[in-house]
Amino acid sequence: MKNIENKEGSETIESLPSSTKLAIELKNITKRFGHVVANSDVNLKVSTGTIHGIVGENGAGKSTLMNILFGLYKPDSGMIFLNGQAVDVNSPEKSIALGIGMVHQHFMLVPTFTVLENAMLGNEGSMFLQSGEEFVLDRLRGLSENYGLDVDFEAIISETPVGMQQRVEILKALNRGAKILILDEPTGVLTPQETIGLFDILRSLREQGVTIVLITHKLKEIMSITDTVSVMRGGKVVANFSTEKTSPEELAENMVGRKVLLSIKKPTLKVGNPVLEVKNVSHESKDGVNVLKDISFDLRQGEILGIAGVAGNGQSELLDILSGIETLQRGKITVNDKTILPYQDWNSKKAREFGVAHVPEDRHKRGLVLPFYNYENSILGYHRNEEYSSGFLMDKRKIFNFVDDLVENFDVRPRSSSISSSKLSGGNQQKLVLAREIESNPKILLVGQPTRGVDIGAIERIYEDLMKLKSKGTAILLVSVELDEIMSLSDRIIVMNQGSIVGETNSSDATELDLGKMMSGLEKV
């Protein structure tokens, strides 16, 4: 493994043209949380009218840095310069007044308000709403046309698609006079087409002199839209590049601190008999919404079936039903030749008995009991098994033997059985959950968002483990919103939109654009 710790300092800064005006300059920013140093002596320069990317793994300090710039956190030391002036950004109000706007990963919109009401929030224009509305609407229309921010001002936010909600966030920032726009993981919830639309908007903003800081973990996006990019690792900026002079491989290497393999070796394997058959499954949510409509598919031994789709199109509910968390309402499921009919006794316990293991989408809410120690979490769901108990008692020694091996074999760090799982990084938490489910020797593994909030090093490992499991003949159902992941891991891909299966393809034939079209419901295949 090549160590590239020495990438800091002057040699990389030169890639920035020194003559251009700097919109943002951060000097020696340090921020501690208790023992944790989130930002250590960070320097960052962003030129006016450029798009600057910040990449880094989870916990590298990207969000902390941006929250400092936006006035949410106060740095322990360091200086902030905006357009060459030293400023003291001590609150979001102050930073908005200084012309900084931020679009958070999770939108800060009032779901019951209209687009207009949301966009004018915090800058109503007048004491009386009506006259303010007319005034603001005029200005917003102007902005909207100028930058291609296409929105319907009358619509209620909760009824608009995510893409539009994001445009409203951008409008909101511009309405408050933002000249610097920070976007935190803006494409996580978008289809490929919507992402392209967003990037067009960002480009036109740049043309008109707006400075954009883009935080993302998707290297492809960095390559396609940014002018310059900074890589953060362990609270430090470890490298700065001009985008055209770097490559995804180089960025990844800097993010992780060693060489990483981004490609996956898929074992070639003849798929066997179907082990999971889903027939005409429909589901109605508690609010009476039809979240699944007539879903049917097969999953075979040794096969990875990917389910692609924008988040919230029924994938989560499908996983919940298959794993026994939700009751089956309509349709039929056959698991290892055992048939489950609607409203039959079907729960997570039974699912495990039938050989269905489940790595849930949300490891914090479901996969782990966070305050529990690793040894307690590593038997969650399997705690009734005889291997870990004698009678009604838990057998601590057997559990510890099992867990010590588990953290060793699956490289969970720190390698400790008696540390609270809440203290593990996202990647290690995910490794622990995956390890537990794989160790149960499942016939079928349901996996939801295996790499959400997981660092690259751990992603590599997780993919490896999944491939190993596949070559043992386990059938894997993979739900992910990361198209790349679906395309590189799966043998077969089905696409879901609004609760229905809108397409199926072999992964070898799939292209991102085709899948994107299906995901947005534009095209049936």
The residue ranges that bind other proteins (CB under 8 A) are 32, 34-37, 323-325, 347-352, 358, 360, 362, 365-372, 376, 380-381, 383-384, 389, 392-394, 396, 422-423
Q: How far is the CB of 388 from other proteins (least distance, A)?
A: 9
Closer of 16 and 434 to other proteins (Cβ): 434
Q: How far is the CB of 371 from other proteins (least distance, A)?
A: 5
Q: Let me know: does 292 contact 283? Beta carbons within 8 Å.
A: yes
DSSP string, 34-49: TTEEEEEEEEEEEETT
Closer of 197 and 448 to other proteins (Cβ): 448
User: What is each CA distance from 290 to 330, 378, 520, in whole angstroms?
Assistant: 11, 35, 18
Closer of 113 and 372 to other proteins (Cβ): 372
The two structure tokens encoding residue 493: 């891909």
Q: How far is the CB of 59 from other proteins (least distance, A)?
A: 15
The two structure tokens encoding residue 72: 């949410």
Distance of alpha carbon 165 from alpha carbon 155, whole angstroms: 10
Q: How far is the CB of 344 from other proteins (least distance, A)?
A: 15
Distance of alpha carbon 329 from alpha carbon 509, whole angstroms: 34
Q: Let me know: does 300 contact 274? Beta carbons within 8 Å.
A: yes
Distance of alpha carbon 26 from alpha carbon 143, whole angstroms: 29
Distance of alpha carbon 467 from alpha carbon 267, whole angstroms: 7
Q: How far is the CB of 368 from other proteins (least distance, A)?
A: 6
Q: How far is the CB of 374 from other proteins (least distance, A)?
A: 14
Q: How far is the CB of 380 from other proteins (least distance, A)?
A: 5
Q: Residue 92: how many CB atoms within 10 A of its CB?
A: 15
For 431-450, letters b (16+ CB in 10 Å) and e give bbbbbbbbbbebbbbbbbbb
Which amino acid, 123?
N
Q: How far is the CB of 349 from other proteins (least distance, A)?
A: 3
Closer of 237 and 368 to other proteins (Cβ): 368
Q: Let me know: does 206 contact 212? Beta carbons within 8 Å.
A: yes
Distance of alpha carbon 154 from alpha carbon 176, whole angstroms: 20
Element (H, E) at 141: helix 129-147
Closer of 129 and 369 to other proteins (Cβ): 369
Q: How far is the CB of 403 from other proteins (least distance, A)?
A: 14
- Cα dihedral across residues 410, 412, 415, 420: positive or negative: negative
Closer of 226 and 377 to other proteins (Cβ): 377
The two structure tokens encoding residue 355: 């050989």
Closer of 196 and 394 to other proteins (Cβ): 394
What is the phi/psi pair of residue 369, to 5°?
-95, 100
First to last CA, the chain: 45
Q: How far is the CB of 351 from other proteins (least distance, A)?
A: 8
Closer of 357 and 481 to other proteins (Cβ): 357
Can you point out the beta strands (E) in 216-317? 228-233, 236-242, 274-284, 290-300, 304-308
Closer of 347 and 511 to other proteins (Cβ): 347
Q: How far is the CB of 150 from other proteins (least distance, A)?
A: 38
Closer of 34 and 288 to other proteins (Cβ): 34
Closer of 205 and 328 to other proteins (Cβ): 328
Task: Supply the angle between the helices 192-207 and 129-147 in degrees, to the nearest 10.
Answer: 100
